[in-house]
Amino acid sequence: MATDLPPTLSVQLLEEPRLLKLKKMFVSKFQSTPKFYARAPGRVNLIGEHIDYCGYSVLPMAIEQDILIAAEPLSTPVIHLANANPSYVDFSTHANSIEINQTKPSWHNYFLCGFKGIEDHFSLDRPRGMNCLVEGTIPASSGLSSSSALVCCAGLVTLLANGKTLSKVELAELCTKSERYVGTEGGGMDQSICFLAEKGTAKLIEFSPLRATDVRLPRGVAFVIANSGVEMNKAATSHFNIRVMECRLAAKLLAKSKGLDWKAMAKLQEVHVALKLSLEEMLTVVEEVFHPEPYSIEEIGEHLGISPKELCAQILSQNTRDVTIFKLYQRAKHVYSEAARVLEFKKTCEEAPVDAIQSLGDLMNQSHASCRDLYECSCPELNQLVDICLQFGAVGSRLTGAGWGGCTVSMVPADKLERFLANVKEAYYKNSDQRLTLDENSLFATNPGGGAVVFLEA
């Protein structure tokens, strides 16, 4: 388990075209020179969707696409943010009066989350101002964690600008909490893989305490990411937070039904641990306790012995208090079955049986079916894309990330990769004028990449 600091590398900018280009843009924008650069990668989750915030392990890997920030600490307490992409407007604010808008999250709010996280953690009375130029290659709202990568990169930049140090684990935990400033009730997978990733290996990320274990993926396959072209911003919609609340309510009802202290339990994993049962046994408990029909807020209140008003005030997040029905059976069934699939995926990678690739593909396909039918976080375009990928040779294919849009990840035999890419391009992207406009980075094979890093010009 890596408990060390994010690495700092000394580089010749002539050998790093992106950094050199970013430096030139920075000089043109601010009429000064960056003192350092920070990089934070995006990620693809291979399996384990919507279960990190329930306390369960997930299995992501970092990708080559990333966020880069060129930074210059200032003696004045003002933050000047600019983006290499002209569609993202410049932003400036006083470092001592950070305000983060939850109702309409703009790109700069994610930077401010990382900044405020460091400011609050160290109780900085006079945080340093900064000139920062941001550049990214992760498609926005694609389920590849562009927002979390920006939060993490901003946290790392702010840490350095203020002369502080934190370990990778501490940064991951801090940035997980920081992103909640923008209103997203996430669980920590994205920030954890961002800092703990290592080149050449996927990671099993476990929580409480946070730790990462190498998972060597099988040889002879490629993992291919395909962007559906449907954008989904977690912070700008309520879908994501409603699922978090449904899982929280399911945990409390399960705890109450089994005579546990339901007020002390917020995660389905906590109930599982308290009952000392297997995940398979928890699925049986779900069948016994819940009915498949949606629960009204009144019915949940009756089960817990509190009024709907108390339930809203004490349990629900501010942006889910107008929700009137909750699907507890379906959400809990997905979480416990998906948690079991993650462990099975890791075990299959470790033991490498003869049919490992087919077994892993089956687990990915089961995961997508569960996301589609039980968690209802897919969309028609994602389902179509998964079907096309399977039709043209993927052994397994599933949505990745929050869902409701974004990307799929498919496991494809290496000897079929070239044909697979050509066929998917033809069947999904060239059949639609709208999808034709997606850039070349919408369909690509990826290898496990490294985590967040700081660059200094040699």
User: Is 190 tagged catalytic?
Assistant: yes
> Do residues 396 and 362 lie in contact, with contact meaning Cβ atoms separated by under 8 Å?
yes
Query: What's the alpha-carbon Rg for the chain, to the nearest Å?
Result: 22
Q: Nearest CA to 241 among 152, 155, 173, 331? A: 331
Q: Considering Cα of 38, then 44, then 50, then 54, what sign does the dihedral take?
A: negative
Strand (E) or helix (H) holding 437: none
Cα gap 356→351, rounded to integer Å: 8
Q: Rounded to the nearest 5°, which phi and psi values hold at 374? A: -95, -45
Asked whether the beta carbons of 107 and 147 are under 8 A apart, the reply is no
**Residues in Cβ contact with 419 at an 8 Å cutoff, skipping those fewer than 6 apart:** 392, 393
Q: Please state whether beta strands 36-47 and 453-457 pair in parallel, antiparallel, or not at all (unpaired).
A: antiparallel
Asked if 117 and 175 touch (Cβ cutoff 8 Å), the reply is: yes
Nearest by Cα to 161 from 187, 206, 109, 124: 124
* Catalytic choice (66, 90, 125, 190): 190
User: Could you give the dihedral angle defined by the CA atoms of residues 399, 404, 406 and 409, in that order, rounded to the nearest 10 degrees?
Assistant: 0
Spatial distance between the Cα atoms of 453 and 5, rounded to a whole number of angstroms: 9
Q: Which of 70, 59, 83, 97 is nearest to 16 (CA)?
A: 70
Place of tokens 């800092």: 195
Helices (H) and strands (E) in the chain, counts: 15, 15
Nearest to 249 by CA among 207, 185, 318, 297: 297
Q: What is the residue type of 160?
A: L
Helices (H), 374-440: 380-391, 417-424, 433-436
Q: What is the DSSP string of 83-94?
A: ESSTTS--EEEE
Positive or negative, the CA dihedral 275, 277, 279, 285 is negative
Q: Catalytic residue positions?
A: 190
